[in-house]
Chain A
């Protein structure tokens, strides 16, 4: 519980960064990075499952209020939080996760983190873009957009990890 101020600060910083900076960034048209998913990715391993869902709900709601699309980011964040629990189970090392560790590059290693972040970010983005379009006749262009956006979000996630956890 003593991690709470740090996590709350991370929430505020990521939301502001998303709505004030990244929502104005677009690479060649539709590609838009959603760095705020980093909040869900970086929740500690021992966070209760229900709390992950609730915080994803409020994260999505906050982003939605700023982009005036109610429900869109909530639905995508929830889907991602739900998948996270299953993915963590799938990726668990023998003997389970060490409670003092958190899902970051220095704790879990580059390959582990990249596949963990990559899969979840792609799930989030494709879910988001599909319900945003809400039609299936643009299915492949939607998937293409989610793939490209995932790549950009991942790059930002890796940069932020390197900046925060630089070796001293």
Chain B
């Protein structure tokens, strides 16, 4: 017994190090597997406060560009406002609003912190639980896909950006609906991403548009993801390895829309039964 105590006392520095390192790794694994430990969410309110003060100061520098984006987006919305509705009765068009059920709602949020050059990038936005944001919602912007809400505090949310090694988004070729999976590989940078699982018999051209598939409950169908910048057939497999250039410019992102899928629980309940 005395030997053990002596040993512990002599190596107290190493043992303290191992103990603290153990805590760090538990935190690390927990955050990756599950939603964040609750005390971190609370702490996010603190860092969120610092970031929004900083952002208040730098916001003016981006006003001109933001205005242009808003104007463009308005034009887009005016021409396509029925996109957020699904048809209830096949291909017939009835001019009667009760036949359409609203599926998506959009909440606007401001980006207060954003990173693009890490292996796992996150975006912090200034809307949280009190504004109705929940983990698992999608984030898009006027130009395309942005990411998925991972964690919310009362007034802030953390969004896992597309520029993240854990990204997996179902996408499809706009012209013929062949679908694949968009990931962000180590050789990608803040303007590119990789699309896999598109079969190599498909007619593919550089410049083809890739859009979201809308099969999951996160993103609506047809949100821009990017355009094909290069592709090659993987030897020994039936799939293409496609590099796309992202339409969203993550380097100067300032406003995003959080997509609330009103039919999410319905779809998920059905999928669980499968």
Contact = CB atoms under 8 A, between A and B. Distances in A.
Nearest to A77: B24
Interface in A59-111: 60, 65-72, 74-75, 78-79, 81-82, 85
A29 B190 contact: yes
A52 to B, nearest CB: 9
A20 interface: yes
Nearest to B42: A65
B120 A23 contact: no
Contact of A69 (B14, B37, B116, B120): B120
A16 B50 CA distance: 9
A32 B30 CA distance: 25
Contact of B24 (A16, A32, A74): A74
A50 B40 contact: no
A57 interface: yes
A30 B117 contact: yes
A111 to B, nearest CB: 28
B124 to A, nearest CB: 7
Interface stretch (B15-23, B81-89, B193-201, B204-212): B15-23
B109 interface: no
Given A30-B117, A133-B119, A65 B40 contact: yes
A78 B13 CA distance: 12
A3 interface: no
* Interface SS, B side: helix
Nearest to A81: B17
B50 A66 contact: yes
B115 interface: yes
A18 to B, nearest CB: 12
Interface string B1-33: 000000000001110110011011111111100
B122 A67 contact: yes
Contact of B12 (A50, A66, A75): A50
A35 B47 CA distance: 19
A162 interface: no
A54 B27 CA distance: 16
Nearest to B186: A138
B94 interface: no
Contacts of B124: 68
Interface in B80-133: 113, 115-120, 122, 124
Interface residues of B, number: 41
Given A30-B119, A132-B118, A71 B20 contact: no
A60 B51 CA distance: 18
Contact of B54 (A20, A54, A67): A20
Given A20-B54, A78-B17, A66 B47 contact: yes
Given A49-B13, A65-B44, A85-B13, A78 B24 contact: yes
B186 A23 contact: no
A53 interface: yes
A133 B165 contact: yes
A144 to B, nearest CB: 11
B155 interface: no
Contacts of A85: 13
Interface in A5-34: 16, 19-20, 23-24, 26, 29-32
A82 B17 contact: yes
Nearest to A63: B47
B183 to A, nearest CB: 13
B36 interface: yes
A74 B27 CA distance: 9
Given A26-B117, A65-B40, A66-B50, A57 B25 contact: no
Interface of B: 12-14, 16-17, 20-21, 23-31, 36-37, 40, 43-44, 46-47, 50-51, 54, 113, 115-120, 122, 124, 151, 158, 165, 186, 189-190
Which 10 A-B pairs rank lowest in CB-CB distance, beginning with the nearest? A71-B28, A26-B117, A71-B27, A75-B24, A74-B24, A82-B17, A70-B27, A70-B31, A71-B24, A66-B47
